[in-house]
Chain A
Amino acid sequence: MEYVETGKKRIRTAILLSIIPGLGQIYNKQLFKGIAFLIIFALFIIEMFNFGIGALNGLITLGSTPGADHSLFILIEGSLQLLILLLFILFYVINLNDARKVARLWAEGKKVNTSLKSVLLNMVDRGFPYLFTIPAYVAMLFAIVFPVLVTIFIAFTNYDFYHIPPAKLIDWVGFENFSNIFFLSSYRDTFFAVFGWTVIWTLAATTLQIVIGIFTAIVLNQKFIKFKRVFGIIFLLPWAVPAFITIMSFSNMFNDSIGAINTQVIPLIDALIPFVELQSLPWKTDPFFTKIAIILIQGWLGFPFIYVLVSGILQSIPEEQYEAARIDGAGVIQRFKHITMPAIFTIAAPIFITQYTGNFNNFSMIYLFNEGGPGSIGAGAGSTDILISWIYKLTTGTSPQYSIASAVTLFISLFVIMISLIVFKKTKAFEMED
């Protein structure tokens, strides 16, 4: 009984002392670790007083004197400080946990590493996984997490071409950008038009490439086919050649007056197929035909990936399954429905989803083919712009709307994450081993 009491007391003391990181560790007789924790704590305090408090305060005000205070840099410094603060909180929690754990080891009379050598050895051994993952985390922190944080902040400011620091200050405006997008008629109409087309484009183009991909894989998987390798190589070409090259080539081919489609392909179709009389089509000047063209081109560009994936899956389906089904009297369609399709979808469904989210943000296809045009539908967007290319135009145009662009970026991110989460949950990608 007494043992339990002193044990509990020990743990409580260690945790209480660890309110100043390091002291709990020293109390646990881990001198080296304690000093290391104390140093980290001291560095953080010094950093806070010299830079941190000012930076966090700046994040609230975003500067007060136009010309002298550069609101953007104040915003960035504040965000950076917020990140440092979060990392420190993480460290603090680890510190408390460590003090409690080691104190419990003492209380239970288990062996505790106290000498410098054994602590270091233990750190190398147990720290190995952290050592190996730190580079990935540092890169993601600065290339993804930090930009996302800055985007979130800017979406709540009035950063646009009227407010370019350092001449002007930037201010917090709350949800104004979001309410503009959803309620102010000039932005609202554009936003819903662009969003609607983005969804249609994503569904049509991706489904097309998946259908062609699966169909081609199944056709080419038949046993009797000669020159299988030749066809296989040809069908991979659209994936192998960098997409920007082919999109630019197609952009030239679909030129209304001189492009190969109007001058060669359509006359050829007219000549080959009786009773068909196609005219030259306004591919680049009529939004409807531009939309048709980019969906078809994306089918051309995207099907090889699906075809390769599905071919691999088809070859892994055991022949006996089909034999057994045939003996049971299943027809071609039934075999396809009950053996082939399930096999494809259980393996490839998550990858199909990445194809949909990829096309949702397929900037190159939209922008390189016709720069989002033809024409304009207001607020800087062209008639075939999708959300990502609209963001690009809002950011790079002659009168940039950075804050609106950031708000749309947030919308895209949330939308894509939500869809992916729903589907990943359904396809059980979240269920992990162990």
Chain B
Amino acid sequence: MANMLKSQKTSRIISKFFTYFYLILLAVIIIYPLLITASSAFKAGNVTAFNLNFDAEWTLANFSRLFTETLYGSWYMNTLIIALVTMVVQVTVITLAGYTYSRYRFVGRKKSLMFFLIIQMVPTTAALTAFYVMALLLGALDQSWFLMFLYIGGGIPMNTWLMKGYFDTIPYDLDESAKLDGAGHFRIFAQIVLPLVKPMIAVQSLWAFMTPFGEYMLAKFLLRTPENYTVAIGLQTFINNPQNQKVALFAAGAILIAIPITILFFMLQKHFVAGLTSGGTKG
């Protein structure tokens, strides 16, 4: 008996050891690339590769060079404008549509829900030639409004679907009793139901906001002059050739994007799971 208890104890210690070993190893693998990139932003002299080397001379000069010698400031503004417009328009549209599909039974509802589900499977970004031809016709090559339009439209089917799923989790009794009290369509929507889906709206806003910061292909394809670039394509010009002495500038520029986005991300992170599972699993 004592023997058995002892062996159980050792096996527990071994399992604890491997658990912590795994967690720490994974943490190191995650932190290492981020740390060596971030630290390069503060290094003086010519950085050609990120590495773990803390003998370097530390400086903030890379950040000021970023704004004086490169177009980083305009790229940041461009991206910020695209991101804000995309966020506001897309979230408004999907909130209205998601609410409607959750709350109203109207002719064509089921068919159009099916349409949403199928159309969200279409990998729209692949329709490059069509976008190119449309942009030619509209004179929209190199224009950020066309990019915004594609970001907004492309995200609608999937996000409407998720939004509807979240609206479905809000009890219907609430609107029923409001209706009995004589509240109209707009009152019920704006004052009763909308406040309850704030977490999902926050999550969707963050995702819509992050898209233009991270999207590369369409931006690279449509935006042609460096002044109009977004940060993703702009920063790539710093790092695609380590010989052109801008690797440290890439790191500095990356930090200025990653920090605000990461903070926003962690502020809203607790709502992610509810947002994902409520919409993804049922109709």
CB distance from A245 to the nearest CB of B (A): 4
* Nearest chain A residue, comparing its CB with the CB of B257: A242
On whether the beta carbons of B48 and A258 are closer than 8 Å, the reply is yes
Give the dominant DSSP class at A's interface: helix
Q: Of all chain B residues, which has the CB nearest A130?
A: B106
CA distance A261 to B129 in the complex (A): 38
How would residues 85 to 114 of chain B score, 1 for a CB under 8 Å from any chain A CB and 0 otherwise?
000000011101101110011100110111
Question: Quick check: A225 and B129 within 8 Å, CB to CB?
Answer: no
CB distance from B281 to the nearest CB of A (A): 6
Q: Once the chains bind, are B127 and A300 in contact (CB under 8 Å)? A: no
A147 touches B131 (CB 8 A): yes
B235 partner residues in chain A, CB cutoff 8 A:
244-245, 248
Residue of B nearest to A165 (CB): B136
Q: A236-B269, A347-B281, A395-B128 are in contact. Are A136 and B160 (CB under 8 A)?
A: yes
Chain B residues with a Cβ closer than 8 Å to the other chain, count: 95
Contact for A242 among B112, B153, B258, CB less than 8 A? B258
Q: Please give me the residue from chain A that is nearest to B160 by CB atom.
A: A136
Residues of chain A with a CB closer than 8 A to B132's CB: 395, 402
Which of B27, B33, B153, B277 contacts A140, CB < 8 Å?
Answer: B153
- A235 pairs with B26, CB closer than 8 A: yes
A276 sits at the interface (CB 8 A): no
Q: Which of B68-76, B115-123, B193-201 contacts A (4 or more CB under 8 A)?
A: B115-123
* A339 part of interface (Cβ distance < 8 Å): no
Q: Does A72 contact B (CB under 8 A)?
A: yes
Q: How far is the CA of A250 from the CA of B37 in the complex (A)?
A: 9
Residues of B within 8 A of A424 (CB): 117
For B48, give the chain A residue with the smallest CB separation: A258
B130 touches A406 (CB 8 A): yes
**Chain B residues within 8 Å of A265, by CB:** 32
Assess the A244–B232 pair: CB atoms within 8 A: yes
B137 located at the interface, meaning its Cβ lies under 8 Å from any Cβ of chain A in the complex:
yes
Interface flag for A260 (CB, 8 Å): yes
Task: Report if B177 contacts A (CB, 8 A).
Answer: no
How long is the Cα–Cα vector from A111 to B279 in the complex, in angstroms? 40
| CA A391 to CA B30, docked complex, whole Å | 32
The stretch among A18-26, A201-209, A307-315, A320-328 that forms the contact with chain B is: A307-315
Is B210 a contact partner of A242 (Cβ separation < 8 A)? yes
- Complex contacts, B32 vs chain A, CB 8 Å: 265
Interface core residue of B105, B109, B121 (most chain A CB under 10 Å): B121
Could you tell me the distance between the alpha carbons of A49 and B156 in the complex, rounded to whole angstroms? 35
Q: Is B23 an interface residue (CB 8 A)?
A: yes
Give chain B residues whose Cβ lies under 8 Å from the Cβ of A258: 48-49, 242
**Given contacts A142-B153, A147-B130, A235 and B27 within 8 Å (CB-CB):** yes
Q: Which of A126, A145, A309, A413 contacts B126 (CB under 8 A)?
A: A413
* Nearest opposing residue in chain B for A402, CB measure: B129
Whether B265 pairs with A240 at a CB distance below 8 angstroms is yes
| Complex alpha-carbon distance, A430 and B113, angstroms | 10
Question: Which chain A positions have C-beta within 8 A of B36?
Answer: 249, 253, 260
Contacting chain B: which of A6-14, A52-60, A178-186, A361-369?
A361-369
Query: Which among B133, B149, B281 is the interface contact of A429 at CB below 8 angstroms?
Result: B281
Interface residues of A in 248-275 (CB under 8 A from B): 248-253, 255, 258-260, 263-265
Q: Are the C-beta atoms of A351 and B265 separated by less than 8 Å?
A: no
Q: Which B residues lie within 8 Å of A260 (CB)?
A: 33, 36, 49-52
CB closest residue in chain A, given B247: A252
B45 at the interface (CB under 8 A from A): no
Residues of A within 8 A of B122 (CB): 144, 148, 413, 416-417
Contact of A241 with B96 in the complex, beta carbons under 8 Å: no
Return chain B residues, CB-CB under 8 Å to A406. 127, 129-130
Looking at the complex, which one of B96, B112, B254, B272 makes contact with A308 (CB distance below 8 Å)?
B272
Q: List 15 A-B contacts (CB under 8 A).
A: A133-B96, A136-B96, A136-B160, A140-B157, A142-B149, A146-B130, A242-B213, A253-B36, A255-B49, A260-B50, A363-B125, A364-B216, A364-B217, A392-B221, A416-B123
Given contacts A235-B30, A367-B217, 6 further A-B contacts (CB under 8 A): A132-B100, A139-B93, A255-B242, A363-B125, A364-B217, A396-B221
4 closest pairs, A vs B, by CB? A143-B153, A312-B273, A432-B283, A147-B130
